[in-house]
Amino acid sequence: MTDVLAWRYRAVMLAYPRSYRARRGDELLDTLLEFAAPDQRWPTLREVASILVEGVRERIGAARRRPSRMVWIQGLQIMVVLLLAGAAAPVLTDVARQQLSAGAGLALILLALATTGAVLRGRWVAALPLTGAWLAAQVYLFTVSWQVFPISWYLLAAVLALAVLAGRHRSERPVRSAWWLLAVPAATALLTGLELPTRPANQLIVVALLAVAGLAGTLLDPRAPIVAAGLLVAETLRTLVELPTPGDTTSTGVIVLLPTENIQATMTWTAPHTSTGVVFFVTPTWWALALGLGTALLFLASHLGVRRRSRI
């Protein structure tokens, strides 16, 4: 019986990284088996949950005690990388669909690679102007040649986060393992493949899911809500501020920020939107409230998580 139980516990312990299993595996298994009843064949739910949670926390680097400042820096770094991936996704899509000229596409891809590299290496001061240049290039393409996408709110949010990192944590660079690099193409691929919803009611669901995921992530890692807060702000801005494209006469834009002669600013919202008989009233005020509340909740969750994790 013990052999079967030991085999099953070892299977659950695969949640831990290999190096941790090599160091702790036998000892942990010994303790687990000492608590087992003589005829027990299956791991207890409580132990399984504990192993899975601690295993994941060990893998994502959340198990170690770190200074609060470093947790915030790492959270902002992960947030910026995902924001950059979110900004790169439409560029890659447009390049693939040949909606961008070869020169413009190449320039944007090079800027994206340089910026992401700088952020991954913790070079905040270098990453900030690079992100600014990327953003400026997109605005230029939009205003001058109407090439596809408008301003990327993901990039704007990344600039703000990088400004904080460059201003307050200039010389502090988090150490990252090599597997972290995989997060960049993975996030970009995911966001490229994902058709982000355009209906306000669906967008509200996306924002709500983001907030809930961030709060739930606090249980594992206090960096999770920091990341979610950044994505929440960018996603809400993307929803609230819509730039009409040429020939688009049905824009649901609320505020148009780019003052070019081609764009007519509009301050009206075309809600209600109907969906399967249900009327959704999604107004800018509700969006702003949801954004403020969600972001505040996420940062509070981060703060509490960081404070708790800074204790032994």
Partner 1 sequence: MTTQGAILRAPSYFVLAALLDGPLHGYVIIKRVSALSGDSVRLAAGTLYAILDRLTEAALIEVEKEEIVNGRARRSYALTPEGRDTVQAEAQRLAAAAAVVTNPALRQSALSGPEMRLA
Cα separation of 47 and 53, whole Å? Answer: 10
Nearer to partner 1, 30 or 248 (CB): 30
Q: At what angle do helices 18-34 and 2-12 cross, to 10 degrees?
A: 140
Nearer to partner 1, 26 or 248 (CB): 26
Closest approach of partner 1 to the CB of residue 130, in Å: 36
Cα separation of 45 and 35, whole Å? Answer: 13
Nearer to partner 1, 59 or 123 (CB): 59
Nearer to partner 1, 44 or 251 (CB): 44
Nearer to partner 1, 58 or 242 (CB): 58
Q: Where are the alpha helices (DSSP H) in 97-182?
A: 102-120, 124-145, 153-168
- Let me know how long the chain is: 312
Closest approach of partner 1 to the CB of residue 73, in Å: 19
Nearer to partner 1, 7 or 35 (CB): 35
Closest approach of partner 1 to the CB of residue 11, in Å: 14
Closest approach of partner 1 to the CB of residue 227, in Å: 22
Q: In sequence order, what DSSP letters do the residues of 255-274 get, joined into one string?
A: ------TT----------EE
SS3 of residue 280 by DSSP = strand
Closest approach of partner 1 to the CB of residue 287, in Å: 39
Closest approach of partner 1 to the CB of residue 276, in Å: 45
Q: One-letter amino acid identity for 49?
A: A
Per 3-state DSSP, what percentage of the chain is helix, strand, and coil (rounded to 5)? 65, 0, 30
* Backbone phi, psi, residue 167, to 5°: -80, -40
Quick one: which of 170, 142, 136 has its CA closest to 155? 136
Is 294 exposed, middle or buried (CB count within 10 Å of its CB: 0-12, 13-18, 19+)? buried
Cα separation of 221 and 61, whole Å? Answer: 9
Residue 273 pairs with which residues in a beta bridge? Answer: 280
Closest approach of partner 1 to the CB of residue 34, in Å: 4
Closest approach of partner 1 to the CB of residue 184, in Å: 29
Cα separation of 6 and 47, whole Å? Answer: 13
Nearer to partner 1, 41 or 308 (CB): 308
Cα separation of 16 and 22, whole Å? Answer: 10
Nearer to partner 1, 33 or 189 (CB): 33
Cα separation of 45 and 28, whole Å? Answer: 16
Binding site for partner 1 (CB under 8 A): 24, 26-35, 46-47, 49-51, 53-55, 57-58, 63-65, 308, 311-312
